[in-house]
Every structure is written in structure tokens, then in C-alpha cells.
């Protein structure tokens, strides 16, 4: 819905949102905003994406773990294994998991 129409019909839009609809408001033929209920907003507000600094710290921790010798050796063993070794390992894992 165009922003001008939304402005002129705000009462009707509020009724739609309170009935459970979401309304996309456009400006210059492109999406500009979404009108949602306060309950829906409250649900979304708690699921905010982490900021760049926390993602960077998490990445650095994962990278450090992957670079440790034990992890590097495990990766080398996995990528250097033959098809038969991988199949045997998978069968062994399946038998162990089913117990």
C-alpha cells in the first residue's frame, strides 16, 4: 500500500493489523515499512541478530579450534581416507549408534 494511502486510511490499516494482518507500506513503488501488531513486534524484538563484534569473536574462537593440532590431524585423516576406509568407519559408527 502506498504511503499516501496508508496515511489517509490509517484507521482501516490499524484494524487490519489488529486482526492479524501485516501491511507493507511502499514509497516510490518499493517496500519502505511494515505495519505489524505490538505483540508481533515484541516477539521479533527479542530475536535480534547478533552484532558484528560478537560474530567476529565467535568466528575467531572457531578458527582457533580448527587450527589446533588435534583438529588439523582429524581433518587430514578424513580427507586422506580411501573410500573403503570411509565406508568401514561409517558402518562402525552406525553399529555403535544403534546400541
Question: How far does CA 93 lie from the centroid of its chain?
Answer: 30
Q: How confident is the model at residue 34 (pLDDT cuts 50, 70, 90)?
A: very high
Q: Model confidence over 44-93: pLDDT tens digits?
A: 876 666 678 878 888 888 888 777 767 667 767 777 788 888 888 888 88
pLDDT surpassing 80 at residue 32: yes
Residue ranges per domain, the chain? Answer: 3-45, 52-97
3-class secondary structure for 20-35? CCCEEEEECCEEEEEE
Question: In degrees to the nearest 10, what's the CA dihedral of 82, 86, 91, 96?
Answer: 130
How far apart, in Å, are the Cα atoms of 71 and each of 27, 65, 83, 87? 52, 7, 21, 21
Predicted confidence at residue 24, as pLDDT, reads: 93
3-45 is classed in which CATH architecture? Answer: 3-Layer(aba) Sandwich (3.40)
Mean pLDDT lowest among 20-29, 32-41, 89-98: 89-98
Confirm if 21 and 45 have CB atoms less than 8 A apart.
no
Amino acid at each position: 500500500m502506498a504511503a499516501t494511502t496508508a496515511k489517509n486510511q490509517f484507521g482501516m490499516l490499524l484494524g487490519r493489523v489488529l486482526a492479524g494482518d501485516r501491511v507493507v507500506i511502499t514509497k516510490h513503488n518499493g517496500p519502505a515499512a511494515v505495519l505489524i501488531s505490538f505483540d508481533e513486534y515484541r516477539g521479533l524484538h527479542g530475536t535480534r541478530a547478533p552484532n558484528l563484534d560478537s560474530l567476529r569473536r565467535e568466528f575467531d574462537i572457531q578458527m582457533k579450534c580448527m587450527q589446533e593440532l588435534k583438529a588439523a590431524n582429524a581433518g587430514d585423516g578424513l580427507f586422506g581416507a580411501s573410500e573403503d576406509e570411509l565406508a568401514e568407519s561409517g558402518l562402525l559408527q552406525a553399529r555403535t549408534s544403534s546400541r
